[in-house]
Amino acid sequence: MLFFLILISVLFIMQTVYILYYKNQVRDIGNQLAFISEHDSFKFIQSQIKPKELYQLMNLCNELLREKREQNQEFERKSEEINETIVSLSHDIRTPLTSLDGYLQLAERSDQLKEKKHYITLAQTRMKQIITLVDQLFLYTKLKNQDYRLELDSIEVVNVLKRRLFFFIEEFSHKNTEPILNLPEFPVRMVGDETALERIYENIIRNYIFHGDGNLIITHEKKQGEFHLHFNNKLKPNQSIHFNKIFSRFYKEDPSRSQLSSGLGLSIVKSLVEKMNGHVYADLKDGQFCIVLIFKTEEKESLYG
């Protein structure tokens, strides 16, 4: 009888000690959480003993801490992107606005009709550039909306390109160049949005007008079920391109350059191409900068050639 009393007493003491130690570990976890929260620490919860319940509690706490840190990092990254966006847009819009104001002031002060008309023409050019910048930003914002959908229909790829090239005939003339074309004589059809395709071509051509050198060479390549368009041009002397960033928003080869570009053009190209189930990439081939558009042709057109 005495033996059983001693045994029960020992078990009771051991259980009491274990419960006190267990409570101490729970208290310690609480203290660690309080320290991490107060100091925004990157530590994780640790414990000397790991019974099943306590181990599950620690894992849950650490998982929540990990998610919270990832959310904070994502928030900081987006905040930084927003700040960069504001700075970029402020610069891109302020620059033509400043020159617009200057030209209008010069036109107002001028007494000569010919000179006044000249300044007004320059002011109108700056106004068009501002409209283009705002239009690019508006389209980019729409494309970032996951619910935004294009109106897809059967369209002819090559004719749309030729119309866009004709639209830039004056810009080509100012560069003393003309596009060199190697395009198919037969129609190439795809399922897409004609307005979006026009914008894709326009942004690629405008990118060449602003930053390219030499002639714009456009060639094609046909593969089973696909149509590839290659836009090639020489790089300007000492020109460098970060190909891993070229389709990123607000990417500019030289942020300090004077060209009035939003840095959204090729990012919009990528978004529009992908919304039409296509693919786009940039490369450097034989010293020439190359943008390649890849579109899936309609089934009846995939056997052309």
pLDDT in tens, 15-41: 776 676 777 777 777 787 787 777 777
Query: H helices within 110-177, ranges in order?
Result: 113-144, 157-167, 169-174
Q: Quick one: tokens of 17?
A: 């000690």
Dist CA 252 CA 241 (whole Å): 9
Average pLDDT, the chain: 79
Query: φ and ψ at 214, to 5 degrees?
Result: 70, -160
Query: To the nearest whole percent, how much of the chain has pLDDT over 70?
Result: 80
Cα(first)–Cα(last) distance of the chain, in Å?
102
pTM over 0.85: no
From the CB of residue 43, how many other CB atoms can be counted at a distance below 10 Å?
Answer: 11
Q: What is the pLDDT of residue 278?
A: 92
